[in-house]
Chain A
C-alpha cells in the first residue's frame, strides 16, 4: 500500500518547478507487486447472487461507446435505444451509465436519450480535444470542448498531451486540463450544473506505472472529475495493474484532499468475467465508495452483450447465444 505525503497541495500547482518536484516525489510503483496483486485479485471466484449483483452493477457502469470514423446518426440512435433498455425482454435490466460518442454526434445522442433529469438519466459523454491523439492547438481543443458542451454533452472525455507529459512539460499538461475544465463550465453547461470532465491518460503510451501514477495525480490536481485509462485506439488499453495504480491514486488523493475522483477503465474489456475482476479490484483497493456508476465506469461496446448473455443465463438457467442480443 502506498502512502503519499499529505503536505498542503494548494501550492503545488502554483509553479511548474513545484509541480515537477511533487510528481517526482511520488513513491515509485512496485511493478512486480502491482501485477501480482492484480493477478491475485483476478483469481477470486464470484458466483450466484453475488455474480448477479456484479453483472447488474457492471451494466449500470458502462459508457456504451462508438468512436468510429463510420459512425452515423442512425447508429448513435440505435446505441441510445440500447443504452436505455439493454435487454428489451427484461424490464428489470438496468440502463447503462452513458453513451460515449464523437462531439458532432453528441446532439444526436442527447435527443435520442431524451431530456429527462434525475438519477436514472443516461448521460451523454463526448470525447473532445482532438481525440484520440490530442495533437492540436489549445484553441482548437477548447473550441472542440465548447461545441460538445453546447450540443448537450454531460461529460467530456479529454485526452492529455502525452508528448508534453513524456518530455517533462507537466505544467503545460496541467494548464491544458485546467483550461478544458474551464470550458466545461461555459455557456450551455447550465443544464443540471457542471459538465463532468474525464481525463484520458492513454496509459498504453505512458510506458511505466510510475508515469501512470504521476499522470493520475497531475490530472486530479488540475481538477479532473474522472481519470480514464485509454482511448481504446492504442494497445495495450485498460489492464488490471494499470487500473490498480489509478485506483490507488484516487484513494490517496481523497485521503489527502477530501475530494473524490472517479476512474474509468476503457478499451479491451470484452468479457463479463473481466468486468467482475475490475469490480473486485475496485472494492479491494478503494472500498465500496467507488462501487457506483458515479465513481467507476467501463468504456466498452462489446462488453454489454456479454453481460446480457450472462444475465440471461442467470435468469433462465440455460446458456444463451449471440442470436439473442443485438448486432452493434
Chain B
C-alpha cells in the first residue's frame, strides 16, 4: 500500500519497556498495563513488572554497586552532569509527556522540566562535596587521628512519588546515586512514561548499566518483594503511602516497613504533608543513604 498523500505515514508507536542492568527488557511476565493521560484517555501500554523483574533489577544493582561506589566522586559528578546535558537536549519530549500525564499546560510543564534538570545538576554538584560536608577530621582527646567518611549504604529501593512524575522522580533518585549507591526505582504508577524516557537518557549518557534500574507497574505488587529482599539495603517509601501516593491510609507503607525490618533496612517513611518538589531540597536526601565510617589512627612520633 502506498500513502495517498505525502505525509500519510504509518504510525510508529513506541514500546515502553523496563530498564534493568542497562538494557530495556519487556517484563519477564509478558504483561503490560494501560496508561491513561490526565484526562483519562488511552495513552499507551507500559510493561507491567513482576517480582522476577524486581529480583533481576536487584541483582543488576548489586553487581553495579561496588564499581559505581569506587569511582572517584568527582567522576561520578561528571557522569551525572552528563545526564543533565542529555536531558536538556530532550526537553521538548519531556515537557510534552509531563504535560500530558500530569495535565499541565505547556508553559507550566516546561517549568517543571527545567526544574528537574536543575535539580539533577544540583545533585551532580554534590557528588564530590558530600564527603567534606558530612565527614572530616574529628577533634579527640588523645594522640589519634579520628576521621569520619560517609560511605554509600548500597542497593536502595525507591518508590517514586505518584504525582510528580519527573521532578519528583529526579529528586528521589539523583541524591541516592550521586553518593555511590545504586537504585531500583518503581516509577509513578499513573504517570510512568516520563520515567521510561528518563531511563533512555540514562542509557545514552555515561551512567554504567545497573546503577539506575527502573520498573513500571503496580506498586502494591512489586514493592513488597523489594521490601523483604535481603539484598536491598535501604527503602524509600516516598510514593508508597501518605501524602504523595494514591493510598493515603498508609497501610501499604506500614506493611512494607515491617517487611523491611527483616534485615534492618534503612527505611524512609512517606511524607506526612505533600512535599513541595520545587522547594530547595537541602541535604536530607543525600544524607539518608550514607553510612558514616569513623576510623581511629595513632598519630606518629
Contact = CB atoms under 8 A, between A and B. Distances in A.
Interface of A: 317-324
Interface stretch (B92-100, B163-171, B223-231): B223-231
Interface string B93-128: 000000000000000000000000000000000000
A319 B62 contact: no
Given A320-B231, A321-B231, 13 more contacts: A318-B228, A318-B229, A318-B259, A319-B55, A319-B225, A319-B229, A319-B231, A321-B58, A321-B229, A321-B232, A323-B230, A323-B231, A324-B230
Contacts of A318: 225, 228-230, 259, 262
A112 B211 CA distance: 42
Contacts of A321: 58, 62, 229-232, 263
Contact of A320 (B62, B225, B230, B259): B230
B58 A319 contact: yes
Interface in B217-243: 225, 228-232
B231 A322 contact: yes
A318 B224 CA distance: 9
A241 B55 CA distance: 29
A122 B219 CA distance: 46
Interface of chain B, main secondary structure: helix
A320 B228 CA distance: 9
Contact of B228 (A319, A323, A324): A319
B259 A322 contact: no
Contacts of A322: 62, 231
24 contacts: A317-B228, A318-B225, A318-B228, A318-B229, A318-B230, A318-B262, A319-B55, A319-B58, A319-B228, A319-B229, A319-B230, A319-B231, A320-B230, A320-B231, A321-B58, A321-B62, A321-B229, A321-B230, A321-B231, A321-B263, A322-B62, A322-B231, A323-B230, A324-B230
Nearest to B259: A318
Nearest to A312: B230
Contacts of B262: 318
A53 B283 CA distance: 50
Nearest to B224: A318
Contacts of B228: 317-319
A321 B61 CA distance: 12
Nearest to B51: A319
Contacts of A317: 228
B132 to A, nearest CB: 30
Which 8 residue pairs are nearest across A and B when measured between Cβ atoms? A321-B231, A318-B228, A321-B230, A319-B229, A320-B230, A319-B55, A324-B230, A319-B230
Nearest to A322: B231
A320 B55 CA distance: 10
Contacts of B58: 319, 321
B139 to A, nearest CB: 35
B66 to A, nearest CB: 12
A318 B231 CA distance: 10
A270 to B, nearest CB: 13
A320 B58 CA distance: 11
A323 B262 CA distance: 14
A256 B263 CA distance: 56
A200 B296 CA distance: 54
Contacts of B231: 319-323
B290 to A, nearest CB: 19
A322 B259 CA distance: 19
A192 to B, nearest CB: 41
A323 B225 CA distance: 17
Contacts of B229: 318-319, 321
A324 B230 CA distance: 8
A319 B54 CA distance: 10
A222 B156 CA distance: 57
Contacts of A320: 230-231
A317 B227 CA distance: 12
B30 to A, nearest CB: 13
A324 B225 CA distance: 17
Interface string B174-203: 000000000000000000000000000000
B178 to A, nearest CB: 24
Interface in B250-301: 259, 262-263
A185 to B, nearest CB: 48
A110 B207 CA distance: 49
Interface in B43-66: 55, 58, 62
Nearest to B229: A319
Contacts of B263: 321
A213 to B, nearest CB: 36
A319 to B, nearest CB: 4
Contacts of A324: 230
A64 to B, nearest CB: 23
A152 B126 CA distance: 61
Nearest to B227: A318
A320 to B, nearest CB: 5
A323 B229 CA distance: 12
A23 B230 CA distance: 53
